[in-house]
Amino acid sequence: MAQHSAVLDGVFVALADPTRRAVVRRLGRGPASVGDLAKDAPMTLPSFMKHVRVLESNGLIRTAKSGRVRTCELNKEQFALVEDWLAEQRGIWTGRTDRLEQFVTEENA
């Protein structure tokens, strides 16, 4: 459980930055080279590469180098952790709001 929590924490830390979210959003349309991804970022390539490394080290993207070109693609399996966590939270909060609604309607009746 603790290992799962640490992985999930890393995913959320990686997604906390707007530059990294923009990279994930772009890669949702398909693989792209680091150069293409960096074109839209208002920073130098070495600074942008730090963002790529954070995404890669937290398992959100995979990179592969062919010659001088490094291509990135989403690791969709890692996003399943976020989906599972959100579904769990949704279930908890739905149950709480259902109980609150029941309490309020019973009090009014």
Kindly list the domain boundaries of the chain, sorted by start residue.
Answer: 2-108
What pLDDT, on the 0 to 100 scale, is given for residue 94?
A: 73
| Contact yes or no for 77/87 (Cβ under 8 A) | no
Q: Return all residues near 15 (Cβ < 8 A) that are at least 6 apart.
A: 21, 24, 60, 82
Copy the structure tokens of residue 6: 């640490």
Report, as an integer, the average pLDDT of 67-83.
89
Token pair 């690791």: residue: 75
Copy the structure tokens of residue 60: 């959100």
Higher pLDDT, 56 or 80: 56
- Amino acid in the structure at residue 82: V
From 57, 59, 21, select the one nearest 37 (Cα to Cα).
21
Higher pLDDT, 16 or 93: 16
Please state, rounded to an integer, the average pLDDT across all residues of the chain: 85
Residue 10 has pLDDT above 70, yes or no: yes
What pLDDT, on the 0 to 100 scale, is given for residue 64?
A: 94
2-108: CATH architecture: Orthogonal Bundle (1.10)
Residue 8 has pLDDT above 90, yes or no: no
The reported pTM is: 0.75
